[in-house]
Amino acid sequence: MAAFHPDLALGRFLPPISVGPRLSELARRLKTRPVAPPPGVTVQELVVPGPPDAPPVSLRVFRPAGATDAVPALLWIHGGGLVLGSPEQDDQKNIDLVRDLGIVVAAVRYRLAPADPAPAAVEDVYAGLRGLVARAGELGVDPGRIAVGGASAGGGLAAAVSLLAHDRGEVRPVFQLLVYPMLDDRTVTRPDLDTLTVRIWTARSNRFGWTSYLGREPGGPGVSPYSAPARREDLTGLPPAWIGVGTLDLFHDEDVAYARRLEAAGVPCELEIVPGAFHGFDALFSKAEVSLRFGLDQTHALRKALFA
């Protein structure tokens, strides 16, 4: 059995609970309590036009108070396996980024599967990106310095919206921050994966998430790369990326493969692999040294990408 990182040793005692219809429905009913921003940070709900023939999209926008010049921005996409979650779950992370970097962070509220399968989520995120660019002036955002990022399913959607933006040519993010992203539905079909040390997001959860989002059994032919970015054959011309994942994460192999394919396509990609770390380790053990370092590395990557 693979070893857990010393800072995450208690993770071995976490039960391998899987997300299914009942648990996801319960989680959707439980509202995450928003975090009140501290002095120096403001928050507002901004509603922008949604995709064609779809509802408007809401952005939870955190801004540095008192900024006089236009600042960079990050469109942040929450995780939850494409079936649960909300922007509020990442309030503290987003507030910290505003305080540390002096940027605007807009967390997008997107539709969830199975009620709204693909391409609802990625189209909502794309509408959020377009809305952020369109309202850049009033928000004090530099439209030429907007990154996209997310964790888990949010990381997968960040990669997907980067593909969509590249292909449509209307808006162009300058960077992708992909935190243990959910990229490849074909992982569901792999019989060779050692899942004994997998925590937080299990193989059963992964099957449920992808099946709910795709509206059919994952792993088959014809899946759009806007749903599963690892399906994209040509990755040239995409924004530079940072990808971080632990060795005990179910997504480790697909994330490493995507990072290497980006580099092979000429897209700069910094890959950070955390030995002995499982999915969501930094959220569950937020005070652990390895988690703090993981967060600092993301902040550094954003600073380098947005202020270079």
Alpha carbon distance 298, 178 (integer Å): 9
Alpha carbon distance 58, 125 (integer Å): 10
Three-class secondary structure assignment of 273-306: EECCCCCCHHHHCCCCHHHHHHHHHHHHHHHHHH
Which of 91, 249, 255, 282 is labelled catalytic?
A: 249
Give CA torsion, residues 161, 180, 108, 206, to 10 deg: 90
Cα angle 140, 292, 195 (rounded to 5 degrees) comes to: 115
**241-246/71-77 β-pairing:** unpaired
Which of 24, 58, 86, 152 is labelled catalytic?
A: 152
Let me know if 300 is a catalytic residue.
no
Let me know if 152 is a catalytic residue.
yes
Distances (CA, A) of 133 to 163, 272, 306: 17, 30, 15
Which of 5, 78, 252, 279 is labelled catalytic?
A: 279
Active site residue ranges: 152, 249, 279
